[in-house]
């Protein structure tokens, strides 16, 4: 969706890091850093495959992830003990399978 329309028809040996960074830059500017990280990973996997299968001599995209900010890890918030009764009441009336409810309740207790 992001990369293929821009470089899908370019022979793999003609793809450059600068060209690829310019394609990914607008995505980074929108703050979609997780998407940028995944794109860089997938592009590197493709290039490594190309190197290993003899299509190209070296991976020109090996360090492109360094050109972008890394996504900030956000840990999920925990429930405070005083919030547990509300959670348990919500589970009791939730429209979920009994097995799902039991699994959640087991994890809480």
pTM: 0.66
Tens place of pLDDT per residue across the chain (109 aa):
889 999 989 999 999 999 999 999 999 999 999 999 999 999 999 999 999 999 999 999 999 999 999 888 888 888 888 998 898 888 888 899 989 988 888 887 6
DSSP 66: G
DSSP-derived 3-state class of residue 11 = coil
Model pLDDT, residue 104: 85
| Angle subtended by helix axes 98-108 and 84-93, to nearest 10 | 170
- Quickly count: other Cβ atoms within 10 Å of residue 61's Cβ: 19
Model pLDDT, residue 74: 80
């Amino acid at each position: 969706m992001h990369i293929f329309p821009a470089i899908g028809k370019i022979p793999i040996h003609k793809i450059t890091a600068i060209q690829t960074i310019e394609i990914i830059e607008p995505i980074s500017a929108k703050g979609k850093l997780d998407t940028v990280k995944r794109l860089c990973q997938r592009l590197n996997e493709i290039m490594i495959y190309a190197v290993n299968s003899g299509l190209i001599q070296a991976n020109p995209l090996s360090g492109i992830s360094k050109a972008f900010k890394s996504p900030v890890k956000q840990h999920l918030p925990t429930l405070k003990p005083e919030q547990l009764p509300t959670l348990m009441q919500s589970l009791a009336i939730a429209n979920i399978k009994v097995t799902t409810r039991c699994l959640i309740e087991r994890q809480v207790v």
